[in-house]
Chains A and B, each alone.
Chain A
């Protein structure tokens, strides 16, 4: 596992520096479990393994899991991924674009923080990218309070992205409160999926 990392790091430096290095960083910092894990797992099944898989997704990544030899060739031959292609990948940390929260809270779990650091690095390294952070709340309580709560959640995500070097011009926030639930239903299972911030990317 350790040497695996080592090889990967080299690849990163060689090529898609911003994107894949972010994944590696995340993987190292990812805690096993963590208090936020149950909430998180409900919506994004396999997210933590997805990070490992993420670096092995796509054309260049398949080389990683095989022998050392084929790796360099595949990458050098293939054109570098465009930002659009990176964003269209269905695996990996960057494909993880929903952050979940506890009731009446905008606190980020360690796991969420690690995901957002990856996003922050990606946005910081790609000036043509903009991200809209849409904050949401579950249906309990009053609607306007929930708008404010969704805003607070979007702001706490925004702070991480800016801390990682994203420019404030690239990051927009909006809150929908309880107006646009991801899941209908009136129990904790539904509520836990609705207390969220969605990252919506655009490429200029």
Chain B
């Protein structure tokens, strides 16, 4: 049996590399709410003027987006004291009496068959005035995306921070007893609209978003060894960008989209390189007999943070993108790896191992403080939301990998789960360009 394995490998290299709808959907559960989250009521939108049944519940999508942030808390639908659809119909005292600070009302009009106009207003209950009102066109296929955009408007209006609800995440799903064991997927941040990017019998690892959100770099073992590919999401067109002997691993896109940082072992032990994605020209940044891996770019693109065990155990280091002498960044705990840098550059999230427990922690580069954010024992793959307010990560519970998101203050947490999957390596995509 073992003798025939190479033949199996050859047969196994049969993949479907295209974006297509996936069967299994992620479901969301808020596992840790926040005291003091701002109360907001999102009234079901009026869809009575739409022909047939309107396909989505906009208010429900918006409410659950806002709840996940931990900053806002949407009122349960059964407790709503009234159902106005226009600001002029709102009796503010009724909402003040039930303790709501904010109110969202809206309606859907159908301009032609399947083409809609969604209007909404965000109202400040205490000041009794409108904070923002918008009207947007929508088609059947982008209704959920429009709902997430409304969540973004509301969140930004109230908190002053851009919302990241209308973005996407990528992750790897391992399926038991399935024809293709490994699937790279992208989905909305609430787990809906999961689409397959790549299916393979062999492991798929380390997805990394291009800064424009149009491509993913990843590691695929389809040739029975790790190689790096870049794939355009819309066309499924993909290119192998690194297939040297040894490891081709841990791709990470530079903020300007022109370079990949990656790990190669072609010259000995695993070292950090950068590759110009246009010319494929390589530059070697580290040269050490230790393991150097998991490079990520600083937010200004000037340096690269990576994991190295040159001190004896895995720790984070930083090196100039031009090369030079690496500087050690982490000193607490005997295992710090898999760095991810917040969009403003201030925080570095990591897998932090201490006394046999692996949790997500973040280093504040201004104060030097390391804060542990999670409480399980097998957490990994932290990834910041593009607004820097949440961290997405994977945790092993029982025999399944699940995804969680935790607010960077550690207070709010939610779980994205899926009944028949083992999901891992989540990466939060960039903002859609405005």
Question: Which A positions have Cβ atoms within 8 angstroms of B?
Answer: 84, 87-88, 97, 104, 132, 139-145, 147-149, 151-152, 155, 173-177, 179-180, 184, 186, 200-203
Contacts and interface: CB of A to CB of B under 8 A. Distances in A.
A101 B353 CA distance: 19
B399 A143 contact: no
Given A141-B335, A174-B225, A174-B226, A151 B247 contact: yes
A155 B424 CA distance: 27
Nearest to B270: A148
Interface string B328-360: 000000010110000000000001010010100
Contacts of B270: 148, 151
Task: Kindly name the residue among A141, A144, A152, A174 whose own CB sees the greatest number of chain B CB atoms within 10 A.
Answer: A144
A27 B3 CA distance: 26
A132 B7 CA distance: 13
Interface in B115-147: none
A147 B264 CA distance: 12
Nearest to B7: A202
A186 B396 contact: yes
B381 A142 contact: yes
Given A176-B203, A202-B6, A145 B337 contact: yes
A142 B2 contact: no
B198 to A, nearest CB: 15
A92 to B, nearest CB: 15
B159 to A, nearest CB: 31
B249 interface: yes
Nearest to B351: A142
A123 B208 CA distance: 40
Max chain A Cβ within 10 angstroms of own Cβ: one of B2, B250, B314, B338 = B2
A184 B422 CA distance: 12
Given A142-B307, A175-B226, A176-B203, A147 B396 contact: no
Contact of B293 (A84, A139, A144, A180): A144
A40 to B, nearest CB: 20
B424 A143 contact: yes
A25 B168 CA distance: 59
B291 A152 contact: yes
Interface string B291-320: 111100000000000010100011000000
Contacts of B5: 200, 202
Nearest to B291: A148
Given A143-B424, A179-B203, 17 more contacts: A88-B3, A104-B314, A104-B335, A132-B6, A141-B314, A141-B353, A143-B380, A144-B337, A145-B291, A147-B293, A148-B247, A148-B291, A148-B293, A149-B291, A155-B269, A175-B226, A202-B3
Nearest to B312: A104
Given A143-B380, A145-B337, A151 B3 contact: no
Nearest to A103: B356
B250 A140 contact: no
Contact of A144 (B2, B246, B294, B396): B294
Contacts of B3: 84, 87-88, 201-203
A174 B425 CA distance: 21
A142 B401 CA distance: 13
A200 B292 CA distance: 27
A174 B396 contact: no
Given A149-B291, A151-B270, A186-B378, A174 B206 contact: no
B205 interface: yes
A145 B6 contact: no
List the 3 closest pairs (A to B, CB-CB), nearest first.
A142-B338, A179-B203, A148-B291
27 contacts: A87-B3, A104-B309, A104-B313, A104-B335, A140-B358, A142-B294, A142-B351, A143-B205, A143-B424, A144-B249, A144-B250, A144-B338, A145-B291, A147-B205, A147-B247, A147-B249, A147-B293, A148-B293, A151-B246, A152-B291, A173-B246, A174-B224, A175-B247, A176-B203, A186-B396, A201-B2, A203-B3
Contact of B381 (A143, A147, A175, A200): A143
Nearest to B5: A200
A140 B353 contact: yes
B265 interface: yes
Given A145-B294, A148-B291, A174-B225, A139 B396 contact: yes
